[in-house]
Structure formats: C-alpha cells, structure tokens
Chain A
C-alpha cells in the first residue's frame, strides 16, 4: 500500500513537469529540435576547432598596441606585465594552514620530520619551491590569456620549424613573420595575425 501511495504521488508530481516540457517545445519550433539532434553527435566532428567568437585575439597586432587599450580598461590594475602570474604563488595560505593542520581535539603523535636535517618542531615541506597549482585558464586575466595564446602559437610554430625565437608570449615581429609564412603555406590571408582560421589550421584551441 505504501509503495502504491508513493508511486501515485510521484505520478501526480510529474504531471506539471510533463506539461511544461510539452509547452516549452512548441514555440521553439524546428530549429530547437534540430539543434538537440545535433548535440547528440560528437560536436567536434561537426564544427571547426574554434568559431570566430571563441578567438579573443584574432585582431591582436602587437604587445604595444594592446597596452594602449589596457590603459583605459577597467582591469588595468590586474595588468601583470611580463612576469605574469608566473609563480602562481598563493601568499599567506601556507603560513596559516600549516600550524592548524592537526585538528584541535586530536593532536597527532609527534611525527618525526621528513628529512633528517630538519628540526622536529617546524613542519617544512621538503620541496620549498614546490610549484603551486596554477589557476584554471578561465580565471586568468585578459592579459594573461593573451600571453598564453601567443605562447601556444609560438610553441606550435617552433614545432613546425617556422620560428626560432623565444617562447615569451610577446607578439613580436618574428612571431608575426612566422605566422605569415605559415599562412602562405596554408593559403590563408597572410595577415600575420592569430586569426581563427589560422588557429584552426595550427590545431590550437583558443584560450578563453
């Protein structure tokens, strides 16, 4: 009996849901149906690696031209220059968290320290310069994304033997020249810019 009541109440609860679903599908029309069919397929097969709107830096010409934009941009204070967030250090977190690692109620038995030279009282990671995990790229600033995008293009161009300079994220003339030669090889407009078509030909996902 209990089970019956449960399933009955489930059925009653689902009525408005089903109704809402039916009405939602009507006005959307055929396009929505088609799109939902599309999403069943592997999307990678059906679309280019990057669409135009994915590519934030298609028109980006050089570092200096960007700087003139960023001077009035609201995120100018985030500007981190060439050092970027290179070390990804998370300040203060270490100093606050290491003493409180043991829970207040249950103190651990005094642990012998990891390496023999270290004093017992202070807990020190053996890798003092252990790299901190980086932020996911979606959390980078616009400037950091641009640098990452340029560096990936530089890596790809070195792999193709078209670029021999430094991998520094500066959109310098050498990089632009290398892009032009790549574009000529691929019969793309040789703009020397990181256009969406160029990224797709290089097989590089746009940094977002």
Chain B
C-alpha cells in the first residue's frame, strides 16, 4: 500500500477521504463523504476556507509543502501532492502523520484489507497476522466503498482472513456489490470457516453473482496442507469450505504458492484437483513473495523455480488433462519453461512491481510479471536473466 508522509493541522480523527479538485467538488459533494481537496494556490485555498466558513464540514484542504498556507478554521494536510491522483481514496493516520492510498482508479489491481487477524499461519505468509481486535477496519472498508468514484473491473477483499468477520463479511460484500455494480468482487480466503454451515448459509444465500472466491490449497492430504498452513485440521475445513462454495454455485480460484513443500507434491496435488475438485474455475500457481514469514522460513520458501521445471510441466499437464484452466502468477518468464509462458500472468500489483538491470534488454519484458520490489533485498524466484530473441527461437525449434 502506498504511504505518504503528511503534516496535518486541525484534523481531529483518522478518516477516509476522497481526493478531489476544487473544480470537481461542486459536482461530487455529498454530505456523508469526506473530501480532501487538492489546491496549489492561495486563492483556491481561500475559496475552500469560504466554503468551510459557509458551513461545509466535510472538506479538508491538501496543499503542497511549498505553499505558505495557514488557516485557523480550515483543516489542512500538507504533503507531496504530486504523489496523489484525483479520486484516490486515502486514509489519514494522524498518529503516524501519514496518508495511505487505499484505492487508486488507475491501478490495475485493487485490494481492500478487511482484517489483520488470521486462523492460519502459513509458512510463507507475506502479511503475518496480528491478534488485535481490528473491527474498525470493517467500518473503514464500508466507508472506502462509499468513497470510490468508479466501478473498477475487479476488486479484492483481503486480509488476514476475511471469514473472521463472520456475518459482517456479507455486509461488506453487499456494500461493494451495491456501490460498484460492474465490479467483480474477489474474496481472498482460506475457506476454512465456510465449513461452518450456519455461517456459510448466512454469507452465501442470495449473494451477488459478481463474487468469486480465491482459496489456497497446498496439499492433497491433510498432513501436507496442514503443515504448510501450520494449523491442524485446516485441510478438512478448507475442503469442506470448497464443497460448500460449490453447492452454492460460487466461482472458485484455487491458489497454490510454489514453495518447496508444495512443489514436491505439485503433480500429485494437481491430479487430486482434477479428480476431486474439477469444478474450480481455475488454478493459480503462484511464486512466493519473499517477505513476512517467508523470510523466517527461508529453508522451505527459498526455491529456484528452474530446479522444478519437470514438476511444473507435469502439474500443468495434469490440470490440462482434467480440463481445469491454470495460470502462473508472480512468476517472471525466465523462471518458467517456455512451454508455460502462455499461462503466465502479469499479476504483481503496480506499486510493488519492479524489474532488475538484467531485464532491460529482455525481449519478453513487456509480457513479464516482473518481480516483487522486495526481491532486491531478499531472493528471486530463479536466477533472473534476460531472454534474447535467439534463445527464444532456439527453444521453439
């Protein structure tokens, strides 16, 4: 998530704001929303002050640092305004004096974090869970939905584990489905709590048909999956959850993170999926993000995908034979055998995607997922090397 240092003045509470220009304000103003108006002149700031004086309580002014603007009545945020875009949805964190861009229209990927809590502790978790009560994130997510001024093609509801919201998850889903009518809603969940019939009924009955479920599966037997997610009983629950989703006709993407324990059983796991879970919409085979718990479990998580090409191809064949679509995510093309390139997606969110020096001469860079920007501090999914046109052709022939 993008963060921006700010200096605030006269703003009493942490809050969600829509970034807007003075010219757009008259068209979009609503009493229930909060607006952060970008200005770059004292004159425009003066107009805003007049609006506040005239009774508008829900606007703050956002000025660049160099603008010498002081006001007694006008809540003010000073920051590098060039880093903001119109219709960004931002959260002001007053204690840390920082601003989080939680939604940006121009991004290719959108995700809203609903909680930091989780009931699994995956070996390679990129976002280690906390135990704090963070229900305020739910209220914030509802507010974010109202502040988005657009309907993107897809938005992810993520965590932590969103099912820990219980019935309130449905409240959030409904808010996004109503506010963003043409948006697909993707819920990133381990699916375990959907094995609970009461909760499942509450969540899934009459749910919007825009919803799909992104559920990880790391093994075809309980001890394999339970080891990776470090939680006894998780396999049974996730399989139960998947069958529940299927009984409600929900779209499911299974996700497999490519770390050593899963790579070792990958072909068998994919055969298991083909035989027992053929109803899933697709299987995503995902490179590991070298951050969070993955750093602590380096032995299991640090892999060179080049050593596993045979397994990757065998797994892909198993899925193809079972007619289950599959995609590779977070995997640079040089980490995959060329026969699988067609299935590789540019999946890394814009703000955390980067390339290496070697990539500058690569002929397939434009089709490549790139790397997580934190690869530079840790490890890469394979030895990154530029693909040149010649090597490309040689492998084809």
Residues of chain A touching chain B, judged by Cβ–Cβ distance below 8 Å, are 84-86, 88, 97-98, 100-106, 108-109, 111-114, 123, 125-127, 129-137, 148, 151-156, 158-159, 161, 164-168, 202-205
Contact = CB atoms under 8 A, between A and B. Distances in A.
Contacts of B119: 106
Interface residues of B, number: 47
A180 B145 CA distance: 38
Given A104-B199, A203-B27, A166 B54 contact: yes
B33 A134 contact: yes
Given A103-B166, A104-B198, A155 B32 contact: no
A101 B167 contact: yes
A133 B56 contact: no
Contact of B167 (A97, A111, A152): A97
A133 B31 contact: no
A156 B22 CA distance: 9
Interface string B129-163: 00111111001001101100000000000000001
B192 to A, nearest CB: 8
Contacts of A129: 13
Given A127-B139, A133-B146, 20 more contacts: A84-B31, A85-B31, A85-B32, A97-B167, A103-B199, A104-B199, A105-B199, A111-B133, A123-B135, A125-B135, A127-B13, A130-B139, A133-B142, A133-B175, A134-B30, A135-B32, A152-B29, A155-B51, A158-B50, A203-B27
B50 A97 contact: no
11 contacts: A101-B165, A105-B198, A113-B132, A125-B139, A126-B14, A130-B139, A133-B145, A133-B175, A167-B56, A202-B26, A204-B27
Given A108-B117, A125-B136, A133 B143 contact: yes
Contacts of B168: 97, 101
B132 A114 contact: yes
A86 B31 contact: yes
A164 B49 CA distance: 11
A114 B27 contact: no
Given A100-B166, A109-B131, A158-B47, A131 B56 contact: no
Contacts of B136: 114, 125-127, 130
B34 interface: yes
Contacts of A97: 167-168, 171
B145 A103 contact: no
A43 B24 CA distance: 20
B32 A133 contact: yes
A156 B30 contact: no
